[in-house]
Structure 1
């Protein structure tokens, strides 16, 4: 039944007394979470393993975490209940840049410059801060009900993990897969560190394209005009370049021009990398401040000239711009160009600007000595692992995106110029110049035995250590029992935004270091957006705190709302109303079991032979349960969590509560000696237990509480069916009850149309077209479910309610004034059609769609659908009334 770690208090199953009126989610969650223990292992069962995408130590539970963890927990509980040996490893990432920024800010608030502390003292302060925040986000993850294997929790800076990181660095270096070189890298002037390509995100901004005149040397009035978005870097120009086939500038190649803002002369050269369609077709070449320019400069041996310091200020080489920030230097350069009559024109220019993924500061291309991993050989194996089917993506559409990055991969800059993180294990000798990369700290130079050695000051990119997560968490490089049993892991659940940062690199490192894939399946979920499809951001003010939603509606309701919306490949639109609807479902489930508690004695056994039941409602619900369980299992095995959740929702609400519980009352009211009564009680118990099993992965708290109250695991009450344990029922399908549902549905629709209260009894005559059928079999259910009674005059006038193989004739003459009803329906149809025309007309206007806020447009579109449905219902109702009036003429 339920997870063992949630049922470790046997005294709870002995509780007695009245069933609580409401489900107290807060109390239940606190009680269950307070008793969480280590999950039992099943050494002889099939292993199923996952690793949590480690949240940053600086983090707080947000919607992305909540969705990710909910999906993983659903899968963990499903596999546990299916009998698998589940290991779900939790952990936290040390978050190098982010954590350092937090502690730096904390120290500034105390009036302390972190640099004045020195490296060792600062790192000690970070460890103190880590200890002070305790389990932090771990407690919030527990609050979500995540059934992680907490005794396996890891931290990317713990001793074992740190040893693994160092082993990987040394092994890469020894194999020639890691090197140190001076290359152009992305630099963040705010974080003061290098960034890898995937750590640079691009934002669409409207900048300026500035056209500047470069006069030719000794050519009179001749000049070239260059278009640039960065006039502050003009002082670092080392050449102008044109395309070799551009006829406009062929005569200028080989000549020299004067650099504006300075007295230097630079050559005009030809290079195929120049785009003749951009600007004027003339490109200024600043090798120290552009990736493309550096490559062109290298081909033409231009050398380098850097004018921007690490913090983004202009240095002494910048001439009149020295000492200014990049932004102020840009403004000053334009002032000088304009005064020197070198500024031709300025125009708005929308373009993508690279920014640091951490602090959103505009990055600066910079020539720097850094450590790099050669990615091409690693990428080739990672591609083959996916193309061969060893690793599967869900949804499969993400494979194309994965290939695009793999096929265009560049070497990975893994060194970072900060203090918090895994320090690079490399030492340089100041006497002989030897560079040593070692597993253990040396005291002297391995080459010349000099004690004058210095350790590299840099640390490794945080993503370097997290790339080892699937196997280092299991004890690698040691051959531990956990590594042997649970690696490769079974499933990775992650967001698409770290497909390159993390997923692809884990595949590469797993294959390189273990010669095995790190996981078999990758489930990629989408973003959680607001109800109007907008990304949640602080600037929009639409960020929803998952902890607040759990406090307000309960964790079960919050989890279920996420699961129901988690359609692969589609962003989730979450609203408070959706969570509230899920809370209503939890209440519906709770109240269903309140009814069961009143009618089903605790000693009632489970069904021993479900295939031999004879009650039509019992056979129907068991048949629906078998179908639901089969589809549920298929959905879970293909990671369609949303479909599985919807199956539970529909079975519970639409089938079990709305139909079966009402129908079961007919048989429960029978004489105590009637076998059908006992069969129905056992069916209620059996289906109730199976329902809790199906719902448990999504609703762990309410299902656990109900399991305790009903003692479903008590051996004295008989054997409860295991999850997915019912087999196909023999014999013909229970069509009789489906006909009852059709009858009742037809009556209910008529009640709605004619505005007849659901408690008002209606006299009716039942007409069956199949020969030999006994109407007496149907009337007990029709009385209770449809509130209709046999007519005393079956041939009287009435409204026809059709169903398959028959119809009901409802005597409404004393309940409805059909003439007034016809007039009312005419008015209602006119009102709805007028409103529908108004909203549809608004949506047809281009100016409205262009100017109106997205949430307003979305609301109108939803209203059109609702109004169209209302109109169809009213038209059908009017047709029925006119038909009735026509019969009376």
Structure 2
């Protein structure tokens, strides 16, 4: 007998054994290869539900193809996460009243490396807890020496090819961090603001003017034009004329552009190209100047910085001195007050708007003109590419060609439309960040400002002819180094010679990732890998949905609905959970809300589910491309599934250990297979076929559904009960066949289940496999995946018909028991009237329907109160005297209970606004529950009528 199922006792034991024995490493003796790259999580990060979902799919695929005999490599690593990591260390220093500037760059970076060594491996340890079978011997860090050398080499080569340049462009600027940030690091948050309506006087008739509506009056100081729609008859005669910019006296033109919406606001839009991305494009079309009014802290300059779209500086001009040095929001207040005092402010209206905020600091992002490094996405490289069909294409063309040629495809396919739409609008890629932590840009400046790009300072000095050079202080965007992962992790050296890893694992088989980084990572890996290796990085991109809470809301610490996967694995009591969730909140004032949400969702804390139950839950949700509403109750159900498998194995062991099972010395003895044996073997064969197809097509939800239904329903609920009958009453050859089948089906089921549930399957397989002579490896990790036998379907077909008839009979008897109100613990005799020979089936009915006996009769006895069921041409009657009074009382009590539930649910659904305002999935759930209650009540009424 196995001890009670306790996942914590088996998980760590098996994982250590797998890793220590090198089971996760590739086997180059295998002909076919399967490889997959882990989207490198931030080194600052901890595991969240999105990771658990993503990694369940990746590990499931890896384990499946490893068992299929492929040379398998899942390559893990972590990203240095420039902004996030620098913030973590700066906060630690701030607690000691130290800033990075106090330390200086070199000493600060030493502190960051120290933090990384001490705390940077949290997430990879958590991945092990989930059971990820990555090849940890290949683990990389995007700032390690190998990656750093490749990043430098790639940057220099792109610059030599004319694909990297330095220029002044509009970027997302975080004034608190003091750096440009990517779109992915910007959250658009709905906020309550105002729309200010301002009069811009006509230059030739100042008593009249155009009314401009804006949510950012402080940027008025940098206006270069007022735009109207070219087909707006109201303003057609003013196009080309001048208006006076309030508070400044500066004249600006009225221009026509289709960007303006005629029916929105006044139909007049102020154009500030240096502080708005849409305005930047309008200004570019009309060749305006760009007037920057803010410094890097988003404070108003005393004198503007003026540029044209060729980056050539123009003469600036002084701004009104009363605004100089003011923070942009302080400047807003003063400008609004001055506009009102001078008669320019027409009205102010409350207005909801989407405000861009830095995801790390919460500060409002400022579109700002700064000097940055860019990758030119549309230029043709001037040589130096590997020979391939992609040679001579721009980076953008490469990224499009990979999918258009079918060398890469999306799963689901509809994501190609999103990808192509983004590629059509692609701008040059800003790759510089004003940080200290990261890959420092390999560029040096001489005293005249000339730039020298080289792999080392010595090379730059040779290029410049001077020893007095200063290195660029900026670092590269984190996405730059992660874009190189498909080849920087496989030994690429730019010498044109492929390593064994590159030959075997590039392109990788599939990339598994979320839709939110298609542009930031997927596309960039595509064009970088194609450009430097002449190969696509992967053959397929599997896009999965986002994990949300049970109501479909985004998981957020401030909402109190975040679930830590490790808490689900290990369990955590409520006090610990509350402390964990309310500590370190970005907004401490949300702590009461977080506490209340936590207590509502987990009133008793989170019981331990184990990694297998968590993984099976995630697999069950993995429908192609759909978002996931994670229901904790489903995880509890799959924890019960683990128990079911464990208990079923105990039953098998009790009936097979040290017994004749048709293996070993008894292998040649006759085995008399019954139709239940043949049926379960046939069902197993079908499941082998369908689960294999599900894994191959990334349908983990279907694989989970198939395995759950087969193991719980077919094997445990049906076959084990039938096996009991055969073991008790069968002859020696029948018993031998039954034991053989019990072991065979269980052992194969464990192998089918292993990619999703690795721990429990390893534990049980180690016991079961030797008994049925299937232990051909030291671990189920390396055991062969079951192969579908097409012939077995034909061989077992007749058994399916008999089993279907038996299931129908058992179902009919169970319905009779329910209709008569017979308690589950009471056994009763059954009369069967039939012209057919059902003897082979009837022998199993007592065990399936809790009967004392089954008596075949020519005609059912007369009994006016006893209900009769008709099934497969047979008439069935239970021989039980019905106490009409007691049964009527019982049914009336049940009807009363159902009516109360109906009244409560009807009141909820009829409440004003509920159906229209509540989440659709909750309304549908309530309506389904209502229909179920009504159906149950109707059945009770039918039973009551029969008792009258």
TM-score (norm 2): 0.85
Matched with 1:363 is 365
Matched with 1:154 is 140
CA deviation profile, 1:145-167 (whole Å, cap 9, x unmatched): 11111111011011111122122
Matches within 5 A, 1:97-112: 97-112=83-98
Q: Which runs of 5+ in 1 are unaligned?
A: 1-17
1:519 aligned counterpart, secondary structure: coil
Matched with 1:865 is 928
Conservation of the 8 A alpha-carbon contact between 1:829 and 1:875:
no
Conservation of the 8 A alpha-carbon contact between 1:434 and 1:445:
no
Q: Which runs of 5+ in 2 are unaligned?
A: 304-318, 379-393, 571-607
Shift of 1:483: 1.1
Conservation of the 8 A alpha-carbon contact between 1:436 and 1:446:
no
Shift of 1:689: 0.4
The reply on whether 1:733 has 2:715 as its aligned counterpart is no
The reply on whether 1:622 has 2:685 as its aligned counterpart is no
Matched with 1:404 is 421
Quick check: 118-127 or 349-358, which moved more? 349-358
1:801 aligned counterpart, secondary structure: strand
Conservation of the 8 A alpha-carbon contact between 1:214 and 1:223:
yes
Shift of 1:448: 4.5
Quick check: 34-43 or 265-274, which moved more? 265-274
Residues 1:605 and 1:126: Cα distance change in structure 2 (over 3 Å): farther
Shift of 1:142: 0.6
Quick check: 623-632 or 874-883, which moved more? 874-883
* In structure 2, C-alpha distance between the alignment counterparts of 1:792 and 1:403, rounded to whole Å: 70
Conservation of the 8 A alpha-carbon contact between 1:231 and 1:334:
yes
Matched with 2:306 is none
Shift of 1:838: 5.5
2:843 aligned counterpart, secondary structure: helix
1:452 aligned counterpart, secondary structure: coil
The reply on whether 1:586 has 2:588 as its aligned counterpart is no
Matched with 1:14 is none
* In structure 2, C-alpha distance between the alignment counterparts of 1:300 and 1:407, rounded to whole Å: 22
Shift of 1:869: 2.4
CA deviation profile, 1:579-623 (whole Å, cap 9, x unmatched): 111111111110001111111025734597999863111011101
Conservation of the 8 A alpha-carbon contact between 2:662 and 2:668:
no
Structure 1 residue corresponding to 2:544, chosen from 514, 521, 525: 525
Matched with 2:760 is 702
Shift of 1:293: 3.1
Shift of 1:803: 2.3
Shift of 1:229: 1.1
The reply on whether 1:27 has 2:9 as its aligned counterpart is yes
The reply on whether 1:669 has 2:728 as its aligned counterpart is yes
2:326 aligned counterpart, secondary structure: coil
Structure 2 residue corresponding to 1:790, chosen from 847, 854, 875: 854
Conservation of the 8 A alpha-carbon contact between 1:288 and 1:304:
yes
Conservation of the 8 A alpha-carbon contact between 1:211 and 1:225:
yes
TM-score (norm 1): 0.91
* In structure 1, C-alpha distance between the alignment counterparts of 2:943 and 2:240, rounded to whole Å: 90
Matches within 5 A, 1:608-757: 614-670=673-729, 674-712=732-770, 715=773, 722-725=784-787, 727=789, 728-729=791-792, 730-731=794-795, 732-734=797-799, 735-757=801-823
Conservation of the 8 A alpha-carbon contact between 2:671 and 2:737:
no
What is the RMSD computed on CA atoms of the aligned residues?
2.8
1:226 aligned counterpart, secondary structure: strand
* In structure 1, C-alpha distance between the alignment counterparts of 2:676 and 2:724, rounded to whole Å: 10
Matched with 1:477 is 493
Count the aligned residue pairs: 857
Matches within 5 A, 1:217-616: 217=203, 219=205, 221-298=207-284, 302-317=288-303, 318-319=319-320, 320-376=322-378, 377-431=394-448, 433-442=449-458, 445-477=461-493, 479-551=498-570, 552-602=608-658, 604-606=661-663, 614-616=673-675
Shift of 1:359: 3.7
Matches within 5 A, 1:835-854: 835-836=901-902, 839-840=905-906, 842-843=908-909, 847-849=913-915, 854=919
Matched with 1:4 is none
Conservation of the 8 A alpha-carbon contact between 2:834 and 2:856:
no
Conservation of the 8 A alpha-carbon contact between 2:671 and 2:736:
no
1:321 aligned counterpart, secondary structure: coil
Conservation of the 8 A alpha-carbon contact between 1:198 and 1:500:
no
Matched with 1:10 is none
CA deviation profile, 1:540-575 (whole Å, cap 9, x unmatched): 111111111101121111111111122222221223
Quick check: 581-590 or 254-263, which moved more? 254-263
Residues 1:27 and 1:77: Cα distance change in structure 2 (over 3 Å): same
CA deviation profile, 1:425-457 (whole Å, cap 9, x unmatched): 1222225x5422223332654445111222221
Residues 1:880 and 1:118: Cα distance change in structure 2 (over 3 Å): same
Residues 1:803 and 1:817: Cα distance change in structure 2 (over 3 Å): same
Quick check: 726-735 or 116-125, which moved more? 726-735
* In structure 2, C-alpha distance between the alignment counterparts of 1:239 and 1:350, rounded to whole Å: 25
Residues 1:292 and 1:699: Cα distance change in structure 2 (over 3 Å): closer
* In structure 2, C-alpha distance between the alignment counterparts of 1:51 and 1:602, rounded to whole Å: 46
